[in-house]
Amino acid sequence: MNSDSDLQIAGDILEVPHLLQPPREHPSTVAEFAGLARALAADRAQWEPLVQYDATSRWYHRLRTGPGYEVWLLSWVPGQGTGPHGHGRSSGVLTVLDGVLTERSERGVRALGAGVQRVFGAGYAHEVVNDTLSPAVSLHVYFPGLTEMPVVPGVGLGACAPATPPASLGAV
């Protein structure tokens, strides 16, 4: 009888490329959309020169579109926020690229630092705000593309509650 330590898989997966799926030109699963957002976030040279800051309203730029999805780049100066809202029939991936954003939802208040991703389905409601003293930048992937952001009263029920900073950020 073999023990688990004696168990081996024959061959090397890299030696059987016919088993590997080619990367898709356009994502079609939640995991692929999250992967697209991570890849775009890692390519700072692509998005950083596009970022602008506007003291009067949140700045946004459509970075990419594909069949059934769109990618937006947003900047947030201190104090800017979305107000409580939903995303209609769209699901999404929110990735913080720089700074810290606070998300308020029925699940509570949480600080989202650079590199943090939030994946949400259709019907998810929240409020996002930059309540720090530094600007922030975020990347948003919506599938299908965002066609509405209905106001959802009551989402920011602890709107005055401070976010708990992520352990990696220390005090904000």
Enumerate the known binding-site residues for Fe cation: 85, 87, 126
Token pair 């930048």 is at which residue? 137
Which amino acids are annotated as binding site, given as ranges?
Answer: 85, 87, 126
Residue among 79, 9, 5, 72 at smallest CA distance from 41: 72
Cα 127 to Cα 2, 61, 87, 109, 152: the distances in Å are 55, 20, 11, 9, 9
CA geometry: angle 44, 49, 53, nearest 5 deg: 110
d(C-alpha 79, C-alpha 86), whole Å:
20
Question: Which sign does the torsion angle of CA 18, 23, 28, 33 carry?
Answer: positive
Using an 8 Å Cβ cutoff, are 77 and 55 in contact?
yes
Strands 69-76 and 136-143: antiparallel
